[in-house]
Amino acid sequence: MILRHAVPALLGLSLITGPVQALDLNAMSDAERAEFGEQVRDYLLENPEVIIEAINILEQRNAEAEAVADKELVAAHADALFNDGYSWVGGNPDGDITLVEFMDYRCGYCRRAVPEVANLLSEDGNIRLVIKELPILGDASVLSSRFAVATKHVAGDDAYKQVHDALLEFSGEPSEVTLRRISDGLGLDSDAILAAMDSDQVTDEITQTRELAQRMNISGTPSFVLGTEMLRGFLPADQMLQIVDGVRAEQG
C-alpha cells in the first residue's frame, strides 16, 4: 500500500526539514499507526545516516539559537559588562571593540588564555580589555581575587596588573604569608593591602561580578564577551581575531 512505501521516506524528510503537514497520525486507525511505527523503525535501521544528519542539523539550529540569545544577553547588560566603573581596563582604553574576560586565578584554562589574549592585543591594537574577577573554584580562588581587588583599591591599576599577572603564574597555595611575599616582592604596601581584603568595597565588587555572571548564564572560566559576541571558553588568538573581524563588519 502507499503508506508502506511513502511513510518512511516522509519521516526521513521530516527529521531533516520539519513536520510533514500532510501526514495526520490522528486520522489513522490503530492498525495503520502500528504499521507506521514498524515502517519508521525499518526505515531508520536501513538508513541510520538520516538520524545523524538530523542530529547535526538540530545541533546547528541550537547553536544558532544560543548565539542569538547570548547577543541579547550582551546587549541587555552592556553597561555592567563594559563600563561598570570598577573593573580593571587595559589594552587600548579607546579601542573600538571591548574584550571582557571573566577569570579565576586557579583556573588552568585562564592561565592558558593569558598568552592568547596578549597576542590578540598585540596583533590588534584597537581592542579594549576589561578583567572581571570571578572566583568560582573554592576558597583559594576567593582569597586570590580579594587580594587582587584590594591591591587595586590600595595601590592603583598598575599595581593590580602586576599582582594579577603574578597570581596567574603562582603555583602555590595562597595564604597571608604567600600573598604578602608577592606584594613585598613588587614593592607594595602589604599591610594596607591585606587589611583591605575583607573590606565591604572588595566584597561588593566581587559580589556584583558574580551576580552579573549569573545573569549572563556564565558558569565557567574563562568566559569572554568580545564586542557583541559571547565566547564561552578558551579560544586561541587567531580565532578571536576572526571574531573581531566579524564584529567590526557588523558594526559597519
216-226: per-residue pLDDT in tens? 999 999 999 99
36-56: per-residue pLDDT in tens? 888 888 888 888 887 888 788
Q: Which of 223, 220, 247 is nearest to 235 (CA)?
A: 223
Q: Against a cut of 0.75, is the pTM above it?
A: yes
And the C-alpha cell for 69?
A: 540569545
pLDDT of residue 20: 46
Assess if CATH 3.40.710.10 describes domain 76-251: no
Parse the chain into domains and list their residue ranges: 2-69, 76-251
Residue found under cell 581592542: 127
Residue 11 has pLDDT above 80, yes or no: no
Neighbours of 211 (CB within 10 A): 11
